[in-house]
Amino acid sequence: MKYVNKGIRKKDAMSLLTGKPVYTDDIAPSNCLIVKVLRSPHAHALIEDINVSIASKVPGIECILTYKDVPQKRFTTAGQSYPEPSPYDRLILDKRLRCVGDPVAIVAGENEKAVNKALNLIKVKYEVLDAVLDFREAIDNDIIVHPEDDFIALNDWINVDKDRNICSKGDFAYGDVEEELNKCAHIIEQTYHTKANSQAMMETFRAFTELDTYGRLNITSATQVPFHVRRILSNALDIPKSKIRVIKPRIGGGFGAKQSVVAEIFPAIVTMKTGKPAKIIYTREESMTNGSPRHEMEIKVRLGADENGIIKAIYMYTLSNAGAYGDHGPTTVGLSGHKSMPLYNGAKAYKFEYDVVYSNTMGAGAYRGYGATQGLFALESAVNELADKLNIDPIKLREMNMVAEGQIMPAYYNEPANSCALDRCLSRAKEMIDWDNKYPCRDMGNGKVRSVGVAMAMQGSGISSVDTAAVEIKLNDDGFYTLMIGAADMGTGCDTILAQMAADCLECDIDNIIVHGVDTDQSPYDTGSYASSTTYITGGAVIKTCEKMRKRIIEEASKALGCSIDNLEFDGKKVFSLVDEKEISLIDIANNTLVGGFNTISESESHYSEVSPPPFMVGIVETEVDKLTGKVDIIDYVAVVDCGTVVNPNLARIQAEGGIAQGIGMALYEDITYTEKGKMRNDSFLQYKIPTRLDVGNIRVEFESSYEQTGPFGAKSIGEIVINTPSPALAHAVYNATKVNIRTLPITSEKIVMGMINK
């Protein structure tokens, strides 16, 4: 392979580095109406009256829309495959407001000054209602978040019961957990709590819209899911999808936030009403208070082992906070169990139960690692507590119990672990950190202790039997190719990775692969960039399409040479005969397609997978804890990842380093809290701390590659798994330094000190 497994520079690197106008706001027309949203100050309220007459008279105001002016058709903002496993529980504008920040009115004007003035002049009379703010009190609460009669659920399996504030519920069982737990010599029974987290991507939510020559609605949006945007806007606006075109420029970070259609609907309805271009740019405050953060979860774990430390049974119950709207609630929660329990595949019994509940807090969405991150914090913390109880080295305990290649994983939808280098990942990470000399801790004097903590993780590669991708490859004159994709590159470098695969399949220079980004009018269908699907699913489509392209090139060459196809070979530059000296260059084949009677050489293929092979990872952290103040400093973080064949080591390493940094933020700093009236306190980077480069210490990443037989070139995913180990590893390191188990994130200095005081 010339390009796969090589650190090729991203195709768009220079444009981004030199500040070329590639992002949404860079390319928006200068005559766009400015769109902003008036938002509810109450966690739960009804609009009794809304008066926009004075605001409408502000010079420069084009239109002001209330619930009386927009379609009353329910939809979901979650960008997922149809039929969406999300309840249709939203309106563009609703008379009932279910959280602080819910949209009350849409204002569009010629300039920002006029729009801001008009926002302040809208008069709204609210009937303030009691709110349910603690998701642990939501089920069967007297306060019902969604009492409406036109609530729709397309999938029965989500088991929605809105009158009980249940967005989704479900369960899974293998074996008899209670019976096995009763036999266990040792049981860990604990509850773990992960808070909501903001994705905090550099580029906030934004989109601009306009009508084209044919009266179609064109949306240019920083989105991970262009084709889902088209469907969602079609539902919300009650217009055919044929009337909508979605274009994705470069994205300044997504991390799952832009899998939800957060902002697009507002300029879209303005353009539909006025016929004029419109754009919306969310402020940082809006992105934090009205985005799509990680689901807050409370997870109960019962973990049983025999006297030798062999894990026999695992029970997990997850309570997940959907917030005001269901969106990704039903699909995120399952991963908290199904992508944590299979790590310990030797157990005789598993049971996983969950409830996703509505509350009057901001609606939650997808965030890197969605659900698995929360579940792994709980289970890996419980495993570390079991090791401590048994006085067994936690790495030894994992070696005794972890999943191995070739096993069937009952808790992972009975999928096989065809590719698994987890044992090698653990061994290498142990060696890199010098575990035997540092575990559990070392007293450094002056009240400071250095300690280590460990965690394992798994994720998936796309959503099995659901995610679909198609690509098209066209041979152009002079023999270069255009690769048309529907996958949304959000800074991950998927354009480059797919081009690497195509270049090796077609045996050409990577510069001869021109990647064309997403335009729903031109691009082949792709479910979008989420659930770590692009390399595995879209890459699979690239492989299949390239195979067809090679056959097609040989077919055209056989016509030109008068040779049998069976006697021809293609080496990327020419087609040649195996029986004589006849040959024809790719350039000549390509140019021949442009003359009379030509046959354009273009091929397309789609791909999906019935399995979702998990990548695996081990993370070990060394910290220094100041026992006087509770301050935690990260000294070293080592990560060893099995993502199958590493397509581009440079990009894979960056993915890992960035995910680990985000995981450190979740573990130590990031915390969303609300006032007693439901207003978020953490609405800026002054109140919501994300880690800087100075906070994450030394991060070292290595790869222990397996070969996934169902993946392109043996590849699996990497995008999500890398965020999953920091929280349990850091909690473990803190315990080893202080003997304080912190089971509610984030791990703050205050919790550490109070834990030591109250020991």
Tell me: the pLDDT tens digits for 381-395? 999 999 999 999 999
**In 3-state terms, what secondary structure has residue 752?**
helix
Give the domain extent around 227: 27-129+199-290
Q: 486 with 361, same domain? A: no
Residues in the chain: 759
Last residue of a domain, one of 608, 626, 642: 608
135 within a domain of the structure (yes/no): no
Q: 323 with 352, same domain? A: yes
Confidence tier at 266 by pLDDT (50, 70, 90): very high
Shortest CA distance to 598 belongs to which of 588, 608, 585?
588
Residue 598 clears pLDDT 70, i.e. is over it = no
Given this model, what pLDDT does residue 16 score?
Answer: 83
408 within a domain of the structure (yes/no): no
Token representation of residue 723: 């965020």
Q: 544 with 588, same domain? A: yes
Domain count, the chain: 4
The whole-number average pLDDT for the span 271-281 is 98
Tell me: the pLDDT tens digits for 349-361? 999 999 999 999 9
The torsion angle over the Cα atoms of residues 687, 298, 381 and 406, rounded to 10 degrees, is -120
| CATH number reported for the structural domain that contains residue 548 in this entry | 3.30.365.10
**What is the Cα Rg of the chain in Å?**
27
263 within a domain of the structure (yes/no): yes
- Angle between the 394-401 and 422-433 helix axes, to the nearest 10 degrees? 170
Q: 169 with 224, same domain? A: no
Mean pLDDT of the chain: 96
426 C-beta neighbours (distance < 10 Å), count: 23
Residues with Cβ < 8 Å from 334, sequence gap 6 or more? 170, 354, 371
Q: 679 with 544, same domain? A: no
| CATH number reported for the structural domain that contains residue 251 in this entry | 3.90.1170.50
78 within a domain of the structure (yes/no): yes
Last residue of a domain, one of 556, 577, 608: 608
Q: Which H or E element spans position 587? A: helix 586-592
441 within a domain of the structure (yes/no): yes
What stretches of 214-366 show up as alpha helix (H) in DSSP? 226-237, 265-274, 284-289, 329-332, 335-338
Tell me: the pLDDT tens digits for 15-72? 888 988 899 999 999 999 999 999 999 999 999 999 999 999 999 999 999 999 999 9
